[in-house]
């Protein structure tokens, strides 16, 4: 097959699919905006010199809409170059949110499209502190355009698929891109030095938290407000917080600045900087070490896209204390693969973390069950095989949702 992958943050959700397609002998072209994309032998990468994600974060519906149109036109330029060389894909897989797929038919009409239907923001409850309105729905107009154009859609989890309206769900397959279970595995972790001179050891009580952006949508505020009680009642525990201060997916901090600065100002000297370590973003191998060293890993989220970090932490055998929200409950049953607490209850989170620290030696079954859950449901080899079968169906003109299709019986 000739496969065209389009994602402004390529590889994004194609991080396992792209190399698997190349290894299987398919001709793969990718279009994206990242300048740090590592070369993959056998894959042609066409880079767009723009920051579509930053442009879409502009204030004002009009400016965001224009940003999506601009991204669509930039992708169309790349498509025309490919067409000018005589190259035409058999199938296209792409993420529509930033506008990348808007002009696909202008260049490659009729080519089957697999659209990443990541989440319907318009049908979710607004994040805490954010008023409902037309904004999320209008940001989704590019996704709606793709929904009308696509041969099939793809969502990573049942929660994400269910966020879309009922008329659309029968054309969306639920296939998670998966986790590398060989790399993400329980290991005797080596000591991990952190900026500032602290070195984490395997026998040291450690609470971890990981989020690309430190923001309330991912429970950052709940965590920080829980920590003073934990630090006061457990003298030896260290806390590692991984993530950056940049604007995230939810509302901005009031008054400007970052949520981290605002919360640190609120809590003052109740957080001991010698025991609470903000690392920024870490290299991937160091991130896995954090999971392997962790006594309790905190993962909190509003109803939103499920983070890879949760599954990676579970695959590494971390004991997860998560939020009792739909995305997490799809993966973790309270008391079986981890422990769940209310999203906005710092006292409940603190009490649960203290209990985990106290009972560390008796909670091994939860760690094993967490790893087993990821092995059963989120093995990248199984996910990639299903994605490739779906693409093959589309490229051949077969209906993947028909009786003999690759998505027959898909959730």
User: Tokens for 27?
Assistant: 């001709």
Comparing CA positions, the residue from 388, 382, 20 lying closest to residue 181 is 382
Instruction: State percent of the chain over pLDDT 90.
Output: 80
- Span 182-207, average pLDDT: 88
> What is the pLDDT at residue 23?
97
Comparing CA positions, the residue from 316, 322, 252, 253 lying closest to residue 289 is 316
Hey, do 2-178+379-395 and 192-377 end up sharing a CATH topology, with the first three levels equal? yes
Instruction: State percent of the chain over pLDDT 70.
Output: 97
Residue range 2-178+379-395 forms a domain whose CATH class is alpha beta
CB contact at 8 A, 37 and 8: no
The residues, any chain, with a CB within 8 Å of residue 374's CB and separated by 6 or more, are 179, 181, 184, 311, 314, 315
Above 50 in pLDDT, residue 20? Answer: yes
Give 285's Cβ-side CA count (13 Å radius). 5
- Span 300-310, average pLDDT: 96
Above 90 in pLDDT, residue 102? Answer: yes
Mean model confidence pLDDT for the chain: 93
- Span 220-242, average pLDDT: 97
Above 60 in pLDDT, residue 409? Answer: no
For 316-375, the pLDDT digits (tens) are 999 999 999 999 999 999 999 999 999 999 999 999 999 999 998 899 999 999 999 999
Alpha-carbon dihedral of residues 177, 183, 185, 186, nearest 10 degrees? Answer: -150
Domain ranges of the chain: 2-178+379-395, 192-377
Between strands 192-193 and 199-200, the pairing is antiparallel
Above 90 in pLDDT, residue 300? Answer: yes
The residues, any chain, with a CB within 8 Å of residue 322's CB and separated by 6 or more, are 298, 299, 300, 310, 328, 332, 338, 339, 340, 341
User: In 104-256, which residue ranges form alpha helices assigned H by DSSP?
Assistant: 104-107, 135-139, 141-149, 158-162, 220-233
The residues, any chain, with a CB within 8 Å of residue 390's CB and separated by 6 or more, are 114, 152, 154, 173, 175, 400, 406, 407
Question: Please, what's the b/e burial string for 56-72 (b: 16 or more CB within 10 A of its CB; e: otherwise)?
Answer: bbeeeeeebbebbebbb
Residue range 192-377 forms a domain whose CATH class is alpha beta
> What is the pLDDT at residue 374?
98
> What is the pLDDT at residue 53?
85
What gap in Å lies between CA 244 and CA 218, rounded to an integer?
Answer: 12
Q: How far is CA 203 from the centre of its chain?
A: 30
User: Tokens for 120?
Assistant: 């319907």
Alpha-carbon dihedral of residues 163, 168, 170, 173, nearest 10 degrees? Answer: -60
- Span 13-38, average pLDDT: 94
> What is the pLDDT at residue 130?
54
CB contact at 8 A, 363 and 343: no
Above 80 in pLDDT, residue 127? Answer: no
**Quick count: other Cβ atoms within 10 Å of Cβ 107?**
18
Above 50 in pLDDT, residue 121? Answer: yes
The residues, any chain, with a CB within 8 Å of residue 122's CB and separated by 6 or more, are 136, 137, 140
What pTM was estimated for this model as a whole?
0.93
């Amino acid at each position: 097959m000739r496969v065209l992958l389009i994602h402004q943050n390529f590889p994004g959700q194609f991080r396992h699919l792209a190399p698997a397609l190349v290894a299987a002998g398919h001709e793969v072209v990718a279009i994206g905006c990242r300048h740090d994309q590592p070369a993959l032998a056998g894959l042609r990468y066409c880079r767009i010199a723009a920051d579509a994600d930053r442009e879409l974060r502009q204030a004002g519906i009009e400016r965001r809409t224009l940003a999506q149109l601009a991204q669509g036109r930039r992708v169309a330029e790349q498509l025309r170059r490919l067409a000018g060389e005589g190259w035409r894909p058999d199938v296209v897989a792409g993420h529509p949110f930033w506008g990348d797929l808007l002009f696909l038919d202008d260049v490659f009409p009729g080519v089957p499209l697999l659209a990443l239907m990541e989440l319907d923001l318009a049908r979710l409850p607004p994040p805490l502190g954010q008023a409902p309105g037309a904004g999320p729905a209008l940001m989704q107009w590019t996704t709606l355009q793709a929904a009308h154009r696509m041969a099939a859609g793809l969502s990573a989890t049942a929660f994400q698929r269910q966020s879309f309206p009922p008329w659309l769900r029968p054309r969306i397959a639920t296939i998670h891109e998966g986790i590398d279970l060989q790399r993400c595995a329980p290991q005797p972790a080596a000591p991990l030095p952190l900026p500032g001179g602290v070195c984490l050891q395997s026998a040291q009580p450690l609470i971890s938290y990981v989020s690309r952006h430190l923001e309330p949508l991912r429970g950052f505020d709940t965590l920080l407000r829980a920590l003073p009680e934990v630090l006061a009642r457990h003298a030896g525990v260290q806390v590692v917080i991984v993530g950056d201060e940049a604007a995230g997916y939810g509302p901005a901090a009031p008054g400007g600045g970052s949520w981290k600065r605002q919360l640190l100002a609120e809590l003052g000297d109740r957080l001991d900087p010698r025991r609470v370590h903000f690392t920024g973003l870490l290299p991937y191998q160091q991130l896995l070490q954090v999971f392997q060293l962790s006594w309790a890993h905190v993962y909190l989220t509003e109803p939103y896209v499920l983070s890879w970090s949760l599954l990676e932490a579970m695959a590494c055998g971390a004991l997860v204390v998560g939020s009792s929200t739909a995305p997490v409950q799809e993966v973790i049953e309270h008391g079986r693969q981890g422990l769940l607490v209310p999203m906005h209850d710092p006292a409940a989170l603190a009490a649960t973390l203290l209990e985990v620290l106290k009972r560390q030696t008796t909670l091994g079954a939860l760690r094993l069950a967490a790893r087993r859950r990821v092995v059963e449901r989120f093995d990248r080899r199984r996910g990639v095989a299903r994605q490739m079968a779906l693409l093959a169906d589309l490229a051949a003109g077969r209906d993947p949702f028909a009786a003999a299709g690759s998505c027959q019986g898909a959730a």
